[in-house]
Chain A
Amino acid sequence: MNFSVARNDFYKTLQKVINVIPAKSTMDILYNVLLIAEDSTLKIIATDLEITQIAWTNCSIEQEGAATVPGKLLMDILREMPDIQLKVNLDEDYKILMHSDFGEYKLSGQSRNEFPGLPEVESETKFQSDNRRFKEMIEKTIFACSTDNLRPALTGVYCQILEEDFRMVATDGHRMVKFVNMDYENPGFTREIIIPTRALNFVGRNLPDDGNHEMVISDNHVLFELPGTKIYSRLITDPYPDYTRVIPEDSSREMIINRNDFIASLKRVSLFSNPMTNQIRLQLQPQKLVIDAQDIDFGGEANESVNCQYEGDEIKIAYNAHYLLDILRHLDDEQIRFVFEDADGPGLIFPAEKHEAQEILMLIMPVRLNS
C-alpha cells in the first residue's frame, strides 16, 4: 500500500468513523481502523461488531493495498497536523510509515485478515426513504425502547416494510410507540427487522436534513447508505412480540387537551410524587383535568387543574409521570387526543389533528390504583 492524501481529507474521513471504536473490548483488533487504498479512494472502516462504519475520500494511489492501524493514535497525530500532503507507505511487517513535511511517523499495524470482514448485503432488498422523515421516525420511537436484556427483542426498534406502509414500533412493556409512514412506495418486497437502538442513534446523528438515503437489508445486517458514509448494523434475531394485540380497537372515553399546558402541570406536580414510583393521578371531570401527586413517605403533596375537553363521567387513573412526560415530549402538536376505556386498560395518545400520510400512536399502561 502506498498513497498520498491531504491531511484535511484524511482527518475528516477518520473523524466520521472514529466514534464507532469501542471504549473497552476483549478483541484488541477493534481498537484499529482498517485503511483500504483502491480505485483512487482511501476507505476507512471501524467496527465494534454491532456497528460497522465506512467513510472514504479521494487520494492518489501508487500501489493499492490494505492494513489496520490503531485508530486513536492515527486520530491524535492527524489532529496535530496542519493541512499538508501526507504520504503513507506500508512495509511487509504491517508497519505504516507516514511522511509529512516535518518528519516521519511509524505506526505498527496488523494484517487486514485479522480485522472483522465487511458484512455482506445483497443489493436486491433495497429501500429508499426521505432523510427528514426517517430522522423524525427514529427520534420519536427510540425513546420507548427497553434497555433490559431480559427481552432482547425489545432493545431494538421493530421496522416493518409492508405492502402499503412503512412502520417503526418500539416498546419496553410499559409504553409503546407506533409510527406509520404512508407516504411510501413499496420497494418490491416486504420485510420485518429489528434494528438495535445504538445503531439507529448513529444513523440519526449522521443523517443530513435533506435528500434521501438507502437502506439495504440482508439476513444478518442492515446497511444505511448515507452521503459520504455507510453504516452497517447487525440485526436482532429474537422474535418481536405481536404488538397489535395490546392496542385496543375502540375506547369509550376521550379527552382533548393542550399539550404544553399538560406538560407544564405534570412537571410541577410530579416533583411531589414518590421518587420510587413517580406515580401521579389524573382525575377526569367534565371539561376539567385534576392532576395530583402524593408522597406518603415524606408527606409532600400537590394538585393542579387544567382545562380540557372531556364529556364523560368522573374517573381516576394513575400513571408513571416519567413515562407520560416522555411520550408528551415526543409529540409536537398543540392539541393532543387521549383515549382510554377504563382505569386499568392502556391509554392511547394521538395528535388531535391527523397528519398527512403519517400516523403516530403512543400507548401507555396505567398504574393500578386499587387491586
Chain B
Amino acid sequence: MNAFNRTVVQHKIKEFFLHSIARERLAHAYVFFGPQGTGKEAFALELAKYLNCESEGEIPCYNCPACQKIGKIQHPDIRFVFPGMSSLKSDEVQHLIKQKAQNPYADMEIEGNKNIAIEAIRELKNEAKYASFEARKRVFIISGAEYFSREAANSFLKLLEEPPGNLLIILVTEDKYQLMNTILSRCQPIYFPRFTDDQVKTIVEQYIQSEDDILPLIRIAQNNVKRVFKLLQTDYNQRREQAYKFLRAIASRDIVKIASVIDDLTQKRDKNYVLEVLELLMLWFRDVIHYDIITDKQQLINSDYEESIEGFTTHYRDSDFEQLVGWVEKSYFDIDHNAHPSLSLTNMAINMKNELIRDKIQKEV
C-alpha cells in the first residue's frame, strides 16, 4: 500500500492505523505512550497528514498544501499543545513550534513552568465549537499529557466525553499512568516501543548529514531519538572522556586526583551535566558486565572503546561489577533528587575505590 512510505514507525502501529482508517473505526481519542524518543509526536503529525492529504498517489505526499501546512504546524485545523505553553509569550511559542516543525523528533527544551494550564484547554474547547476550517479531519495533539494541571484535566474531560464529529484527539505521554484514570479510560492507548538501530539511523539521516559513524551514539542514547539529537548538539565525546577520567582516578586510588576530577565535574554547577557523566559511567559498566559474561564485542554500547573495556574487564575480573554499578546508580538517584553533587560523588568514589582496590590486592596476592 502506498501509505506512510517515508514515515519511520513500528510496523505494528502503522498497520493498526491503516486498518482502523480503512474500516472507519478510528477512535475519537488516542494516548500515544512509550519511552522518550520513540517518535510519538512525529507520528501524530504524520497521522494528521495522512488523514488530510489531498494526494491521489502516495499518502502522505508531503507536497500538497495540507501536508505542507501540517509539516510546518501551521494548519488552521491542527492544534499542537505542549507543556508550559500558556506561560510563554506568543513569539516564544511560535519559536518553539517552528523548532518542533523543523525536527519533530527532537526535544522541545521547555524551561520553567511545565504545566498544561487550563487556559490552553479553554482555547482548544473554544476552537472545538467551530466547524472545521478546511481539514477533513481536525487533529488536536497534546504533547506531555502527564503535565496536565488538575483543573485542566477536568476541563478537558468534557471535550473528551463529547467530542465534535470530525475531531481526533491525540495525547502524547511518556508515562501514561500519570494521567488521570478518567482521561485514560476515555482514550485508546497505543504503545510506542523503542526504535531499532536502523530506524534511528534513518531518522537521523533525514535531518543531519554526518560523515561519522553514529552507531555508538545511538547505543549510548539507548535508541532514544531525542537523546541522539541532543547528544549530536553537545560534545558527548568530551563527556565520555570525563567519565573515563573519573574512573581512572578512582582506579588509581589517588584521593587528590579524584577530588580534582570531581571539582571539574561540579564546576559548571549543572546538575544535568553530572547526571549525563554518571549515565555514561553506568553504560561503561553495562558493557563491562556484558563482556564479562558473553565476551561478545558486537553488542557493546561503547563499541569504539572495545580495547579499554576488554582491558578493564580482565584486569578487574574478580570485583563485584554489580556492586560498582549499584554505587553509581545510588549517586545518580541522589543527585537527581537534589543531593549535593560533590558530596555524593565523593562518597561514590570512595565506595568504588574500596571495591576496586580489594580486588587488586587479591590479584597481586
Contact = CB atoms under 8 A, between A and B. Distances in A.
A114 B133 contact: no
A49 B76 contact: yes
Contacts of A25: 90
Interface in B108-131: 122, 125-126, 128-131
Contacts of A113: 65, 68-69
A116 B126 CA distance: 19
A24 interface: yes
Contacts of B72: 114
A237 B74 contact: no
A54 to B, nearest CB: 15
B97 interface: yes
Contacts of A104: none
B76 A28 contact: no
Contacts of A149: 122, 125-126, 129
A258 B139 CA distance: 55
A155 interface: yes
B106 to A, nearest CB: 19
Interface in A25-66: 25-29, 49-50
Nearest to B91: A28
Contact of A237 (B68, B90, B122, B129): B129
B303 to A, nearest CB: 43
Given A26-B90, A26-B94, A26-B97, A49 B133 contact: yes
Nearest to B75: A116
Contacts of B129: 149, 152-153, 155, 236-238
Contact of B131 (A28, A117, A235): A235
Contacts of B131: 219-221, 234-237
Contacts of B65: 113, 117
A119 interface: yes
Contacts of B74: 27-29, 114
Most chain B beta carbons < 10 A, residue from A27, A114, A196, A220: A27
B189 interface: no
A153 B134 CA distance: 21
B133 A26 contact: no
Contacts of B97: 26
A32 B99 CA distance: 20
B133 A116 contact: yes
Interface residues of B, number: 23
Contact of B134 (A28, A117, A236): A117
Interface in A203-254: 219-221, 234-238
A124 to B, nearest CB: 18
Contacts of B289: none
B164 interface: yes
B346 interface: no
Contact of B130 (A27, A28, A237): A237
Contacts of A196: 130
B180 interface: no
Contacts of B76: 27, 49, 116
Contacts of B90: 24-26
Contacts of B133: 49, 116, 119, 220, 234
Nearest to A193: B131
Contacts of A234: 130-131, 133
B93 interface: yes
Most chain B beta carbons < 10 A, residue from A50, A116, A155, A219: A116
Nearest to B72: A114
A58 B162 CA distance: 48
A116 B76 CA distance: 6
Nearest to A152: B129
A220 B94 contact: no
A152 B97 CA distance: 28
B55 interface: no
A234 B134 CA distance: 10
A220 B126 CA distance: 15
A238 B164 CA distance: 8
A237 B130 CA distance: 6
B132 interface: yes
A21 B68 CA distance: 22
B248 to A, nearest CB: 50
5 contacts: A26-B97, A27-B94, A117-B134, A149-B122, A237-B131
